């Protein structure tokens, strides 16, 4: 799995299933979204917005201390 898919699996956004083929060797993985892409994008957007708000408040505090 890629780093992005592992991150998404950790958040519960994707599910994976191992498929055993008829051939020997590495099993294939079937990966599917557990929730719609739109919902994932909304969650990411809200998290980024919150992070930006926190950073802006820190900058405002720093400006007040500098005066």
Give the pLDDT confidence of 4-27 residue by residue, as tens digits: 999 999 999 999 888 887 777 888
What is the DSSP secondary structure assignment for residue 22, as one 8-state letter?
S
6 with 31, same domain?
Answer: yes
Torsion sign across C-alpha atoms 10, 11, 12, 17: negative
5 with 16, same domain?
Answer: yes
Can you give the pLDDT at residue 56? 93
16 with 29, same domain?
Answer: yes
| Structural domain harbouring 60 | 36-67
49 with 26, same domain?
Answer: no
Can you give the pLDDT at residue 3? 92
For residues 27-54, give the mean pLDDT.
93
Rounded to 10 degrees, the C-alpha dihedral 17/47/39/3 comes to -20
61 with 45, same domain?
Answer: yes
List phi, psi (to 5°) of 31: -115, 130
Q: To the nearest 5 percent, what fractions of the chain are helix, strand and coil?
A: 55, 20, 25
């Amino acid at each position: 799995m890629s780093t992005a898919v592992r991150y998404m699996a950790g958040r519960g956004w994707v599910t994976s299933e191992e498929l055993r083929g008829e051939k020997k060797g590495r099993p294939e993985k079937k990966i599917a979204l557990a929730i719609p892409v739109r919902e994932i994008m909304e969650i990411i957007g809200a998290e980024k917005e919150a992070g930006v708000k926190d950073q802006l408040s820190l900058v405002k505090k720093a400006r007040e201390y500098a005066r």
